Protein backbone atom coordinates (compact mmCIF):
# COMPACT_ATOMS: atom_id res chain seq x y z
CA UNK A 1 0.00 0.00 0.00
CA UNK A 2 1.26 3.51 -0.89
CA UNK A 3 2.66 5.39 2.08
CA UNK A 4 0.36 8.24 3.13
CA UNK A 5 2.82 10.90 4.18
CA UNK A 6 -0.03 13.44 4.65
CA UNK A 7 -1.39 11.31 7.50
CA UNK A 8 1.97 11.64 9.26
CA UNK A 9 2.11 15.39 8.60
CA UNK A 10 -1.34 15.78 10.13
CA UNK A 11 -0.17 14.02 13.30
CA UNK A 12 2.97 16.19 13.42
CA UNK A 13 1.93 19.69 12.31
CA UNK A 14 4.80 21.97 11.33
CA UNK A 15 7.30 19.12 10.88
CA UNK A 16 9.51 19.18 7.77
CA UNK A 17 8.80 15.76 6.25
CA UNK A 18 10.06 14.51 2.91
CA UNK A 19 9.07 11.04 1.69
CA UNK A 20 10.78 9.54 -1.36
CA UNK A 21 9.82 6.54 -3.49
CA UNK A 22 13.43 5.44 -3.82
CA UNK A 23 16.84 6.66 -2.76
CA UNK A 24 20.31 5.25 -2.14
CA UNK A 25 20.28 6.05 1.57
CA UNK A 26 18.22 8.52 3.58
CA UNK A 27 21.45 9.24 5.50
CA UNK A 28 22.82 10.96 2.42
CA UNK A 29 19.56 12.83 1.77
CA UNK A 30 19.46 14.03 5.38
CA UNK A 31 23.10 15.15 5.22
CA UNK A 32 22.25 17.25 2.16
CA UNK A 33 19.22 18.72 3.95
CA UNK A 34 21.38 19.52 6.98
CA UNK A 35 23.99 21.22 4.78
CA UNK A 36 21.21 23.27 3.20
CA UNK A 37 20.20 24.52 6.68
CA UNK A 38 17.01 22.52 7.32
CA UNK A 39 15.41 22.91 10.77
CA UNK A 40 15.89 20.62 13.77
CA UNK A 41 13.66 17.56 13.48
CA UNK A 42 13.48 17.52 9.68
CA UNK A 43 12.76 14.01 8.42
CA UNK A 44 13.53 12.30 5.14
CA UNK A 45 12.24 8.80 4.54
CA UNK A 46 12.01 6.43 1.62
CA UNK A 47 9.95 3.47 0.50
CA UNK A 48 13.08 1.82 -0.88
CA UNK A 49 16.78 2.28 -0.22
CA UNK A 50 19.21 0.84 -2.76
CA UNK A 51 22.23 1.35 -0.47
CA UNK A 52 20.83 1.41 3.07
CA UNK A 53 23.65 1.89 5.58
CA UNK A 54 24.02 0.00 8.85
CA UNK A 55 26.49 0.36 11.70
CA UNK A 56 30.10 -0.79 11.32
CA UNK A 57 29.99 -0.34 7.54
CA UNK A 58 27.29 -2.98 7.11
CA UNK A 59 24.32 -2.55 4.80
CA UNK A 60 20.70 -2.27 5.94
CA UNK A 61 18.21 -4.56 4.23
CA UNK A 62 15.46 -2.23 2.94
CA UNK A 63 12.69 -4.24 1.30
CA UNK A 64 10.52 -1.80 -0.67
CA UNK A 65 7.34 -0.73 1.13
CA UNK A 66 7.76 -3.21 3.98
CA UNK A 67 9.63 -1.24 6.62
CA UNK A 68 10.25 2.30 7.79
CA UNK A 69 13.53 3.80 6.60
CA UNK A 70 14.08 7.39 7.63
CA UNK A 71 16.65 9.88 8.92
CA UNK A 72 16.08 12.80 11.25
CA UNK A 73 18.27 15.90 11.34
CA UNK A 74 18.99 16.87 14.95
CA UNK A 75 20.27 20.27 16.00
CA UNK A 76 20.54 19.81 19.74
CA UNK A 77 23.21 22.37 20.49
CA UNK A 78 24.88 19.88 22.84
CA UNK A 79 28.65 19.37 23.02
CA UNK A 80 30.00 16.42 21.00
CA UNK A 81 30.66 14.31 24.09
CA UNK A 82 26.88 13.80 24.33
CA UNK A 83 26.82 11.69 21.18
CA UNK A 84 26.81 8.33 23.06
CA UNK A 85 23.90 9.51 25.22
CA UNK A 86 21.95 10.71 22.18
CA UNK A 87 22.59 7.22 20.77
CA UNK A 88 21.03 5.64 23.87
CA UNK A 89 18.13 8.14 23.86
CA UNK A 90 17.29 7.33 20.24
CA UNK A 91 17.21 3.60 20.98
CA UNK A 92 14.97 4.19 23.98
CA UNK A 93 12.66 6.31 21.87
CA UNK A 94 12.19 3.68 19.18
CA UNK A 95 11.90 0.84 21.69
CA UNK A 96 9.15 2.66 23.60
CA UNK A 97 7.23 3.55 20.45
CA UNK A 98 7.44 -0.03 19.16
CA UNK A 99 6.37 -1.55 22.47
CA UNK A 100 3.38 0.79 22.79
CA UNK A 101 2.38 0.40 19.17
CA UNK A 102 2.59 -3.39 18.99
CA UNK A 103 2.25 -4.59 22.57
CA UNK A 104 5.41 -6.68 22.10
CA UNK A 105 8.07 -6.99 24.79
CA UNK A 106 11.02 -5.07 23.42
CA UNK A 107 14.64 -5.17 24.59
CA UNK A 108 17.61 -2.88 23.90
CA UNK A 109 21.09 -4.15 23.13
CA UNK A 110 23.71 -1.50 23.86
CA UNK A 111 24.09 0.96 22.35
CA UNK A 112 20.82 1.08 20.41
CA UNK A 113 19.71 -2.13 18.72
CA UNK A 114 16.03 -2.70 19.35
CA UNK A 115 15.26 -6.39 19.81
CA UNK A 116 12.33 -8.72 20.16
CA UNK A 117 13.74 -11.79 21.84
CA UNK A 118 17.26 -12.12 20.46
CA UNK A 119 16.37 -10.72 17.04
CA UNK A 120 16.73 -7.18 15.76
CA UNK A 121 13.55 -5.34 14.84
CA UNK A 122 15.10 -1.89 14.52
CA UNK A 123 18.56 -0.45 14.02
CA UNK A 124 19.75 3.12 14.48
CA UNK A 125 22.73 4.88 12.97
CA UNK A 126 23.99 8.24 14.25
CA UNK A 127 26.31 10.35 12.18
CA UNK A 128 27.73 13.80 12.67
CA UNK A 129 27.12 16.24 9.81
CA UNK A 130 28.88 19.55 10.51
CA UNK A 131 27.12 20.89 13.61
CA UNK A 132 24.06 18.65 13.12
CA UNK A 133 23.49 14.99 13.93
CA UNK A 134 21.76 12.63 11.54
CA UNK A 135 19.76 9.93 13.29
CA UNK A 136 18.93 7.17 10.81
CA UNK A 137 16.28 4.68 11.88
CA UNK A 138 15.26 1.45 10.21
CA UNK A 139 12.22 -0.41 11.56
CA UNK A 140 11.17 -3.82 10.29
CA UNK A 141 7.40 -3.67 10.07
CA UNK A 142 5.71 -5.87 7.44
CA UNK A 143 8.61 -8.01 6.18
CA UNK A 144 7.32 -11.57 5.79
CA UNK A 145 10.89 -12.89 5.77
CA UNK A 146 14.54 -11.94 5.41
CA UNK A 147 17.41 -13.12 3.20
CA UNK A 148 19.12 -16.27 4.47
CA UNK A 149 22.24 -14.42 5.66
CA UNK A 150 20.27 -12.32 8.19
CA UNK A 151 17.28 -14.59 8.85
CA UNK A 152 18.67 -15.72 12.20
CA UNK A 153 19.32 -12.09 13.27
CA UNK A 154 16.32 -10.09 12.06
CA UNK A 155 12.61 -10.01 12.79
CA UNK A 156 9.64 -7.76 12.00
CA UNK A 157 6.33 -6.82 13.59
CA UNK A 158 4.58 -9.10 11.06
CA UNK A 159 6.81 -12.08 11.87
CA UNK A 160 6.32 -11.55 15.61
CA UNK A 161 2.56 -11.00 15.61
CA UNK A 162 1.20 -12.41 12.35
CA UNK A 163 -0.39 -9.01 11.70
CA UNK A 164 0.18 -6.34 9.04
CA UNK A 165 0.72 -2.93 10.63
CA UNK A 166 0.01 0.50 9.14
CA UNK A 167 3.38 2.28 8.99
CA UNK A 168 2.18 5.89 9.18
CA UNK A 169 1.05 5.90 12.86
CA UNK A 170 4.22 4.02 13.81
CA UNK A 171 6.37 6.67 12.14
CA UNK A 172 4.45 9.44 13.93
CA UNK A 173 4.80 7.59 17.27
CA UNK A 174 8.54 7.04 16.75
CA UNK A 175 9.14 10.72 15.94
CA UNK A 176 7.08 11.89 18.91
CA UNK A 177 8.94 9.47 21.17
CA UNK A 178 12.28 10.73 19.83
CA UNK A 179 11.22 14.32 20.59
CA UNK A 180 10.23 13.31 24.14
CA UNK A 181 13.45 11.45 24.89
CA UNK A 182 15.64 14.26 23.54
CA UNK A 183 13.67 16.67 25.70
CA UNK A 184 14.38 14.47 28.73
CA UNK A 185 18.09 14.64 27.84
CA UNK A 186 18.04 18.40 27.43
CA UNK A 187 15.92 19.17 30.49
CA UNK A 188 16.91 16.47 32.99
CA UNK A 189 20.40 15.65 31.78
CA UNK A 190 22.26 12.50 30.89
CA UNK A 191 21.66 10.61 34.14
CA UNK A 192 17.93 10.48 33.37
CA UNK A 193 18.65 8.76 30.04
CA UNK A 194 21.20 6.42 31.64
CA UNK A 195 18.62 5.39 34.24
CA UNK A 196 15.90 4.79 31.64
CA UNK A 197 18.26 2.80 29.44
CA UNK A 198 19.46 0.61 32.30
CA UNK A 199 15.83 -0.14 33.13
CA UNK A 200 14.86 -0.93 29.53
CA UNK A 201 17.85 -3.07 28.51
CA UNK A 202 18.63 -6.59 29.66
CA UNK A 203 22.19 -6.12 28.39
CA UNK A 204 23.38 -3.40 30.77
CA UNK A 205 24.16 -5.44 33.89
CA UNK A 206 25.00 -9.03 34.70
CA UNK A 207 24.87 -10.24 31.10
CA UNK A 208 27.54 -12.55 29.67
CA UNK A 209 28.45 -11.10 26.28
CA UNK A 210 30.92 -11.31 23.45
CA UNK A 211 32.11 -7.96 22.10
CA UNK A 212 33.55 -7.83 18.61
CA UNK A 213 35.92 -4.90 18.05
CA UNK A 214 37.32 -5.23 14.53
CA UNK A 215 39.13 -8.56 14.53
CA UNK A 216 39.37 -8.62 18.32
CA UNK A 217 36.91 -10.50 20.49
CA UNK A 218 36.41 -9.79 24.18
CA UNK A 219 34.27 -11.90 26.52
CA UNK A 220 32.91 -10.91 29.88
CA UNK A 221 29.97 -9.85 32.02
CA UNK A 222 28.38 -6.39 31.75
CA UNK A 223 28.55 -4.14 34.82
CA UNK A 224 26.48 -1.08 33.91
CA UNK A 225 27.06 2.17 32.05
CA UNK A 226 29.56 4.90 32.87
CA UNK A 227 28.46 8.54 33.06
CA UNK A 228 29.12 9.03 29.34
CA UNK A 229 26.93 6.10 28.31
CA UNK A 230 29.74 3.63 27.59
CA UNK A 231 29.34 0.01 28.62
CA UNK A 232 31.41 -1.37 31.48
CA UNK A 233 32.60 -4.95 30.94
CA UNK A 234 34.25 -7.22 33.51
CA UNK A 235 36.42 -9.30 31.22
CA UNK A 236 37.00 -12.98 31.84
CA UNK A 237 40.60 -12.15 32.80
CA UNK A 238 39.18 -9.99 35.64
CA UNK A 239 40.06 -6.63 34.07
CA UNK A 240 37.46 -3.89 33.73
CA UNK A 241 37.09 -2.52 30.20
CA UNK A 242 35.05 0.38 28.91
CA UNK A 243 33.35 -0.57 25.65
CA UNK A 244 33.23 2.50 23.43
CA UNK A 245 32.00 0.81 20.27
CA UNK A 246 31.66 -2.61 18.74
CA UNK A 247 29.04 -5.24 18.23
CA UNK A 248 27.63 -7.03 21.23
CA UNK A 249 26.04 -10.46 21.34
CA UNK A 250 25.07 -12.83 24.11
CA UNK A 251 27.79 -15.37 24.87
CA UNK A 252 26.66 -18.77 23.65
CA UNK A 253 28.09 -20.14 26.91
CA UNK A 254 25.55 -18.03 28.86
C1 LIG B 1 22.23 -0.66 12.31
O2 LIG B 1 23.16 -1.21 11.71
O3 LIG B 1 21.68 -1.21 13.25
C4 LIG B 1 21.77 0.71 11.90
C5 LIG B 1 20.76 0.62 10.81
C6 LIG B 1 20.23 1.96 10.37
C7 LIG B 1 19.32 1.83 9.18
C8 LIG B 1 18.64 3.10 8.84
S9 LIG B 1 17.41 2.89 7.60
C10 LIG B 1 17.25 4.61 7.45
C11 LIG B 1 18.63 5.19 7.50
N12 LIG B 1 19.23 5.17 6.19
C13 LIG B 1 20.25 4.34 6.13
O14 LIG B 1 20.94 4.15 5.10
N15 LIG B 1 20.46 3.77 7.30
C16 LIG B 1 19.52 4.22 8.30
* Ligand 1 centroid, distance to 92 Cα (angstroms): 16
* Ligand 1 centroid, distance to 112 Cα (angstroms): 12
**C-alpha closest to that of 89 among 183, 206, 219:** 183
Give the helix/strand (H/E) hosting 139.
strand 132-139
- Ranges of residues in the chain with a pLDDT under 70 are 253-254
Phi, psi (rounded to 5 degrees) for 91: -65, -45
- Residue 220 CA: distances (Å) to CA of 35, 49, 202, 213, 236: 42, 37, 15, 14, 5
Q: What pTM value is reported for the model? A: 0.96
Per-residue pLDDT reduced to its tens digit, 54-73: 998 899 999 999 999 999 99
Phi, psi (rounded to 5 degrees) for 30: -65, -35
Give the pLDDT confidence score for residue 246 in this predicted structure.
77
Residue in 18, 45, 54 to alter for ligand 1 test, most ligand atoms within 8 A of Cβ: 54
Q: Longest C-alpha distance within the chain, in Å?
A: 56
Amino acid sequence: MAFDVDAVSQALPGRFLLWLEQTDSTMRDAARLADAGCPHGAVVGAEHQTAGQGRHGRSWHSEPGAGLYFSVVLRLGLPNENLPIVTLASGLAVAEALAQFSGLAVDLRWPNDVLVGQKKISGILLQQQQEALICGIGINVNQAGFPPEIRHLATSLLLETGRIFPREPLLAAALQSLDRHLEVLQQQGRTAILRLFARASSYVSGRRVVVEQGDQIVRGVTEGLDEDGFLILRRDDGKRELILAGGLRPDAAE
